[in-house]
Structure 1
């Protein structure tokens, strides 16, 4: 049975762009290494892209976070650094206009239902990496746990971070409380 890696929003605007923060750039190597390891094992890798349009500031999120970011078609929307070169073998890519990916959830539910008909789980595990831990990573980890309740959901703490280290730790605590396994936590 295959494992699934979900690379959440490792985009330029979250690393060194509009919402970039110190420390995010250090995740590039570990995330790229993890993606390569999944590919080498013939496991599945999917990517989410925070995706906004030019009217972002008129959306609810834009009114609450009035910083234009990840505008479709701009360099800030692109994957960051060497991770960008690893997109070509992805199983799926999900653009998402909000924190959690409806497309990812639907894809996971379809995999879950197909696997149930065969009397098994769809994946050995679902692991998440990327940005930002206390916003999009936690939202998509909860969606993965909801879509595939019997599949272990894992978040690699060494491959996620937040602009606020305190919120990062709190998000990791909350995920552990939701029976999401947090690995490589210092």
Structure 2
């Protein structure tokens, strides 16, 4: 069976010193590089958060505080600090990540009115990124997933991979949680297991 590695949002704003830093984010990069080097993948796909400056998920664009929740397009939207704005240093991939191994990069969160945690589609399931079609075109059946952050973009990429008919496997060593809510990482792993996502140590 053909397999792909999906590397989710290993970008400067999610790493130490970034505007939405995930604790321990840079620790996963050597592991991801080793996977890309030795994993014998048929495809290695990167996702990249790529927000316009006026994105509605930013607290600054809604006169709200970071951590509040609003209703956006009919669903709850957590208010984030400005992050991964198109063309900025924060949106670039971390310098230690071996970007040369990527066979394709998919940008997400590009629509100003709809957030997009999953690498496959936006949170409202209105707009697809093209990732699903790309993987199916290349006859991929197994997707292994790493990146940031476990409790948001990685989680929803795993769930959408399952929904799209792939066999998703999450590398626990290759992810970290942003943990904006208590027990977020633990609850995420439990939720993924309940949805039959395989967790690899």
**For the superposition of Structure 1 and Structure 2, which TM-score range results when normalised by the shorter chain?**
0.7 to 0.9
Q: TM-score under structure 1 normalisation?
A: 0.81
Displacement of 1:43 in angstroms is 2.3
- 1:182 match: 199
Aligned partners of 2:148 and 2:175 also within 8 Å: yes
Structure 1 stretches of 4+ moved >3 Å: 103-107, 109-112
The question of 1:100 aligning with 2:118 is answered yes
Relative to total residues, which structure has the larger helix share, 1 or 2?
A: 1
Q: Distance in 1 between matches of 2:90 and 2:159?
A: 26
- 1:47 match: 46
Displacement of 1:53 in angstroms is 1.2
Displacement of 1:125 in angstroms is 1.4
- 1:155 match: 170
The question of 1:138 aligning with 2:155 is answered yes
Counterparts in 2 of 1:42 and 1:129: CA distance versus 1, 3 Å: closer
Greater shift after overlay, 62-71 or 91-100? 62-71
Q: Secondary structure at the match of 1:154?
A: strand
Structure 1 spans left out of the alignment, 5+ residues: 116-121
* Match of residue 123, structure 1, among 140, 146, 162: 140
Q: Secondary structure at the match of 2:155?
A: helix
Q: Distance in 2 between matches of 1:110 and 1:32?
A: 22
The question of 1:172 aligning with 2:182 is answered no
Q: Secondary structure at the match of 1:3?
A: strand
- 1:30 match: 31
Displacement of 1:108 in angstroms is 2.1
Aligned partners of 1:3 and 1:123 also within 8 Å: yes
Q: TM-score under structure 2 normalisation?
A: 0.75
